[in-house]
Amino acid sequence: MLAKPLILFSASLLYAANCVPVNPPQYGRVNIEAVNLIGNPIRNLTIELIPLGRPAAQSLDFEGAVATRVPYGAYRMRVGAPAYQPAEREIRVAQANTAIRLELPLPRECENYATILGNAKLGNVKPAVGPGNLWVKAIPVFGTGGSEAPIAADGTFRIAGLDDGNYLLMVLDGSTILYTETLAKVSGNRQVTLDLRPRILPHRCCYINFALLILIFALASPVMR
Query: What CATH code is carried by the domain that includes residue 52?
Result: 2.60.40.10
Kindly report which listed range (85-94, 148-157, 210-219) carries the lowest average pLDDT score: 210-219
Whether 156 and 187 map to the same domain: the answer is yes
pLDDT in tens, 56-72: 555 676 777 888 888 99
In a domain, 20, yes or no: no
Residue 160 maps to which CATH number? 2.60.40.1120
Q: How far apart are CA 153 and CA 150, in angstroms?
A: 10
In a domain, 223, yes or no: no
Residue 54 has pLDDT above 80, yes or no: no
pLDDT bin (cut points 50, 70, 90) of residue 201 is very low
Whether 124 and 183 map to the same domain: the answer is yes
Whether 121 and 189 map to the same domain: the answer is yes
Query: What does pLDDT average to over the chain?
Result: 78
In a domain, 224, yes or no: no
Residue 57's pLDDT is 55
Whether 151 and 95 map to the same domain: the answer is no
In a domain, 191, yes or no: yes
In a domain, 98, yes or no: yes
pLDDT higher for 125 or 111?
125
3-state secondary structure of 11: helix
3-state secondary structure of 176: strand
In a domain, 205, yes or no: no
What percent of the chain has a predicted confidence (pLDDT) above 90?
Answer: 17
How many domains are there within the chain? 2
**Quick one: which H or E segment has residue 16?**
helix 3-18
Calculate mean pLDDT across residues 207-218. 61
Are 67 and 61 contacting, i.e. CB atoms less than 8 angstroms apart?
yes
Whether 123 and 191 map to the same domain: the answer is yes
In 97-213 the beta strands, taken as DSSP E runs, fall at 97-103, 114-121, 134-140, 147-150, 156-162, 165-173, 176-186, 189-195
pLDDT bin (cut points 50, 70, 90) of residue 137 is very high
Whether 99 and 149 map to the same domain: the answer is no
pLDDT bin (cut points 50, 70, 90) of residue 222 is low
Residue 211 has pLDDT above 90, yes or no: no
Whether 86 and 29 map to the same domain: the answer is yes
| Buried-exposed string 83-107: b where 16+ CB fall within 10 A, e elsewhere | ebeebeeebebeeeebebebbbbee
**Enclosing domain of residue 86:** 25-103
In a domain, 41, yes or no: yes
Whether 130 and 178 map to the same domain: the answer is yes
pLDDT bin (cut points 50, 70, 90) of residue 204 is low
